[in-house]
């Protein structure tokens, strides 16, 4: 009687094996950021935190009202689509 092997690649068909290879490739592809990329990421995050407050301070009351109405309409339109 032949011995059974525990190698899982022998029991997989072609499609299953391709999927396994793809998943392994995706999981193992961790990219290392360069120093420049890390600095730019931090600068972008900092700017995003400041941006909303600064925009609010520089807007007039009329601009703020228009922006609030537009946001409310967008929220209600989204609620109507799901209902």
Dist CA 28 CA 22 (whole Å) = 10
Examine the pLDDT at 6 and tell me if it is beyond 80. Answer: no
Q: What is the pLDDT of residues 17-48, one digit of tens each?
A: 999 888 888 876 567 878 888 888 888 877 77
Q: Which pLDDT score is estimated for 68?
A: 92
- The pTM is what? 0.38
Q: What is the pLDDT of residue 4?
A: 66
**Burial bucket for residue 12 (CB in 10 Å: 0-12, 13-18, 19+):** middle
């Amino acid at each position: 009687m032949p011995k059974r092997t525990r190698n899982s690649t022998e029991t997989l068909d072609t499609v299953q094996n391709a999927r396994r290879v793809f998943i392994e490739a995706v999981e193992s592809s961790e990219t290392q950021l360069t120093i420049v990329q890390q600095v730019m990421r931090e600068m972008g995050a900092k700017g995003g935190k400041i941006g909303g407050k600064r925009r609010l301070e520089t807007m007039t009351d009329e601009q703020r009202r228009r922006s609030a109405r537009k946001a409310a309409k967008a929220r209600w339109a989204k609620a109507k689509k799901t209902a």
